[in-house]
Structure 1
């Protein structure tokens, strides 16, 4: 191999672990009885969303920063990132007294921009993609003499991220599989080097969002075509690092694809079952397991919850969409003649069925029904979809035919 990959070995990861110990949290790796029951696998979750910056990215960032020369520390560092690498670099650079500049694309969630600024870094918003942000960061590094801290294609970064695997195998030594989110590839490469050195038979699976499958395409000899707006912006990366892809070709079993809807379901499941908040990228591993349970049935599986930095408005939307998918929140359309008392009658039937009314509105103008008829729109909360079907039967029996308006 001609890339940086040969420079990374188990010894480098162990040295990184010693170097960052005490400054980066050793996060819990806990067995989930409920997720194990749901999937047919024995599931352990590695809670990297418990890091101070709520992401594993601290590991590699700190390992890199601690290896800078005195001159490099004085000049300062620059990084490009959609959020978590930015926070890791900004936080530890500020803690170590190293000036930091972070270039972030316009797609970066505001919560991540706010946190980076709070850590004392200079933030530059540039470009619609990481590639465009990287171009700006390289130009600033050259113009201002700053040290460029790459988010994934750097041996120090990869070794730092690999410390996560050391912890997981110490905390859950029976693990047979690891499922790891893939953005640029630094995390899975570092973990693969460490984990396979310690346990050669262990299987490592990457996970990419369906819109950004660069590693999958490269590993399967396909032309790389990616793009679009993904809920997993932390792994919405166009280009895989050269060193990570070389490691992946040798040590990674396969790359799984997580659909956007699967990632949303995983975020909801982690909130409801594990009472923990993850961002889209952080939930991708569970999304892959839920979508491909047959590949892991009966095996001991470790899933990396890589980050928890999700915008609160987006989280609220994902949770509400989850209620809609499960039939616990629905919009029903009741058809009726436009006569006094029909709204009260419909509301009475809904209440008698044990269904809660959240919102209600009359629709007389934008409808194909007769001018003497009306549509009454109810947003209702039910136990599940079967409960909604019972409600439709009750409304029909009362002379108020209704339908559920399904989301697109």
Structure 2
């Protein structure tokens, strides 16, 4: 994945994504003692950065592959992203979702034209169901975070941020499956000017933090975090990129995540989901590390159930 590949990917997916705004808050700057630039992927099509990776993966298919469609398993943002990107590119999308996935998410997938196949609420059931559809239809499987084309698509958020703010010292992103932080790290390496990348992760699901320490992919034994988008673990495609290009991962507790989310809602008047409050919580937790720096934060998405806010 070189600079040209990242640039080409960005050009190819531009017709299918929004160039999201970069926002600032002088009050939040003052709280940290730094300049913070928020890349607002909560304003992306379908409400999250996942649209970039889904569009990149589908655009990369051959015509023969497009004829047979795509399949993924997801209960959230990637399900919606694949459904919408497939609709735009006139490709059939099979979306495997656990039977207990939120009704609002299922309705969004249907509205985007996705064909939902329900399964039991276990990772094994998801994978087996997706594999069955792949075998029956010949559809191409798309992984939400551990696929080169998805990682390349995800890199474009940070590329755009660096085009507008080329002098950033640090970019932070949340860490779940690892697709966003890997793409962000590639973008910072090729387009930044000595720009470091730091991940934010909940203590409750700190598999990426532990993986960087141990040198191998670790799993979580609990999923007890309000940051529901970060309960997944790293993969063999994104982990080597993270090892090579991510400076460190800062862990935060649940109260810090909720406080950061609330601050952004109140001070910036924008809707973000708990997962994307995690990097800002990391900055608040370690203010001294970020003092007087120019910081970029990827606000990964805004698909939150407003009837179940944590604050």
| TM category, shorter | over 0.9
CA distance 1:259–1:139, shift in 2 (3 Å): farther
Q: How does 1:185-196 map to 2 (within 5 A)?
A: 185-196=178-189
Where in structure 1 do 4 or more consecutive aligned residues deviate above 4 Å?
129-132
Structure 2 counterpart SS, 1:183: coil
- Provide the residue aligned with 2:222 in structure 1: 227
Count of equivalent residues: 309
User: Partners in 2 of 1:200 and 1:276 — Cα distance?
Assistant: 29
Give the TM-score taking structure 2 as reference length: 0.94
The superposition leaves residues 223-254 of structure 1 with CA deviations (integer Å, 9 ceiling, x where unpaired) of: 533322322111110x3111211011111001
Structure 2 counterpart SS, 1:180: strand
More contact order relative to length (CA 8 Å, sep ≥ 6): 2
CA distance 1:172–1:247, shift in 2 (3 Å): same
Q: How does 1:4-403 map to 2 (within 5 A)?
A: 8-105=1-98, 108-130=101-123, 132-199=125-192, 201-221=194-214, 224-237=219-232, 239-315=233-309, 318-319=310-311
Deviation at 1:159, TM superposition (A): 0.7
Give the TM-score taking structure 1 as reference length: 0.72
Which has the larger displacement, 80-89 or 128-137? 128-137
User: Partners in 2 of 1:14 and 1:276 — Cα distance?
Assistant: 30
User: Partners in 2 of 1:294 and 1:78 — Cα distance?
Assistant: 45
Structure 2 counterpart SS, 1:220: helix
**What is the Cα-based RMSD across aligned positions, in Å?**
1.7
Deviation at 1:305, TM superposition (A): 0.6
Structure 1 counterpart SS, 2:71: strand
Query: Which of structures 1 and 2 has the bigger CA Rg?
Result: 1
The superposition leaves residues 130-165 of structure 1 with CA deviations (integer Å, 9 ceiling, x where unpaired) of: 454233212321233211011111111111110111
- Gapped regions of structure 1 (runs ≥ 5): 1-7, 320-408
- Gapped regions of structure 2 (runs ≥ 5): none
User: Partners in 2 of 1:134 and 1:123 — Cα distance?
Assistant: 14
Deviation at 1:268, TM superposition (A): 1.0
User: Partners in 1 of 2:34 and 2:148 — Cα distance?
Assistant: 33
Q: Which has the higher helix share?
A: 2
**Conserved 8 A contact 1:90-1:116:** yes
**Conserved 8 A contact 2:168-2:193:** no
User: Partners in 2 of 1:131 and 1:211 — Cα distance?
Assistant: 22
